[in-house]
Amino acid sequence: MEKSSKKWRYGINRWLILLFVILNIFFVYYVYYPVLPHIALPAENVSQQFLSLPLFGDIYLTNTLIATLIADVILILIAIAVNRAVKSGNLIPKGLPGAIEAILEVINNLTETTAGKWSKNIFPFFATITLLVLIVNWMELIPGVDSIGRLEHVEHGHPITEVISGSGIWPLLDESNVEGADVQEGEFNLIPFVRVASTDLNFTVALALISVTMTQVFGFRALGATYFTKFVNVGGIFRRPVFGAIDFAVGLLELISEISKLLSFSFRLFGNIFAGSVLLFVIGTLIPVFVQSLFLGLEFFVGLIQALVFGMLTMVFMAQATQGHGEHHEEEEAHA
């Protein structure tokens, strides 16, 4: 930061923060006290019925799907902005394109040092996964995500008076739903329109499947059919029976480790972000003043780390798959 802008901004920001804290206290205790939202593992349906396909059955428009679509749109807009900046001929991009260039440069350097000659093929996966997961994770921090939605009549929920607070400020709710039901007795839950996509196992498993499948594809492209001898290793079983059998067992373990990669990829992202949003819910209802800001900072960090880790692990696994046993040592020597 430059000194000149810091001088006057610091004074204003201080009072703005104080104003927001006071407003926060006022709103929380006099206008609308937050209630703990219903915590559900599967994504909720926003539409009654979206599509009906012959093979897959009914497909609903879930709120995590909406979040994924929004993240896609944001990514495409960023891509268009960067494309425009590149086409303008200015070699030093400013603002958003500059930031994206810095991020991509870091990712590219990491890929090149790890993957070597395959970095051109692996880089797109690393970058795409990292950027998508990063945007999806950071959507958690936007006010309104997870909190704006429609009310739905459920068995175990909050009484309507608690949800609406009887104060004139309420979530965008389905009017007919509320008026039609018995206002005093019914129990209601908020079904948010947008919910962070990483809190849906469908999203994380899909990404993990893409990552692990493409790892096998890269391994096959780099090493040919010999890649699969890593899993079914029968080469040495006749020449030296004891060690051959051990090699065969190790190959089976490799096969299992590929499957466990799938599990750890999907559950790591899902667990971190789901636990993060539950934490935010609980803290937001326990101490609705100021404390949640600190946890938003923590979630900002966790979202970044998880996106980086997902992308980086994908890259490392792909790089390992492209390197055979002998080739690996040669490349290390070449680097040293």
Partner 1 sequence: MEVAAARLIGAGLAMVGTIGAGIGIGMLVNGAVQGIARNPDASGDVQTNMILGIAFTEAVAIYCLVVALLILFVG
- Binding residues for partner 1, rule: CB under 8 A, are 39-41, 110, 264, 267-268, 270-272, 274-275, 278, 305, 308-309, 312-313, 316
Closest distance of CB 268 from partner 1, Å: 5
Angle at 176 between CA 173 and CA 182, to 5 degrees: 100
| Closer of 62 and 233 to partner 1 (Cβ) | 62
| Closer of 233 and 266 to partner 1 (Cβ) | 266
| Closer of 87 and 335 to partner 1 (Cβ) | 335
| Closer of 275 and 294 to partner 1 (Cβ) | 275
Closest distance of CB 65 from partner 1, Å: 20
| Closer of 32 and 317 to partner 1 (Cβ) | 317
Angle at 100 between CA 97 and CA 102, to 5 degrees: 110
Closest distance of CB 310 from partner 1, Å: 9
H helix intervals, the chain: 3-26, 63-87, 95-115, 119-138, 160-164, 175-180, 201-223, 241-286, 291-322, 325-335
Check: CB of residue 120 under 8 Å from CB of residue 289: no
| Closer of 193 and 265 to partner 1 (Cβ) | 265
Closest distance of CB 304 from partner 1, Å: 11
Closest distance of CB 284 from partner 1, Å: 18
SS3 71: helix
Selection from 127, 140, 141, 139 nearest residue 82 by Cα? 127
Closest distance of CB 309 from partner 1, Å: 4
Selection from 183, 207, 221, 335 nearest residue 261 by Cα? 207
| Closer of 80 and 305 to partner 1 (Cβ) | 305
Check: CB of residue 118 under 8 Å from CB of residue 315: no
Indicate the residue type of 14. R
Selection from 331, 323, 121, 316 nearest residue 230 by Cα? 323
> For residues 234-253, b (16+ Cβ closer than 10 Å) or e, as one string?
eeeeeeeeeebeebeeebee
Check: CB of residue 308 under 8 Å from CB of residue 111: no
Residues 6+ apart with CB under 8 A from 227: 216, 219, 220, 321
Closest distance of CB 39 from partner 1, Å: 6
| Closer of 29 and 301 to partner 1 (Cβ) | 301
Closest distance of CB 56 from partner 1, Å: 23
| Closer of 206 and 312 to partner 1 (Cβ) | 312
Closest distance of CB 219 from partner 1, Å: 19
The radius of gyration of the chain from alpha carbons, rounded to an integer in Å, stands at: 26
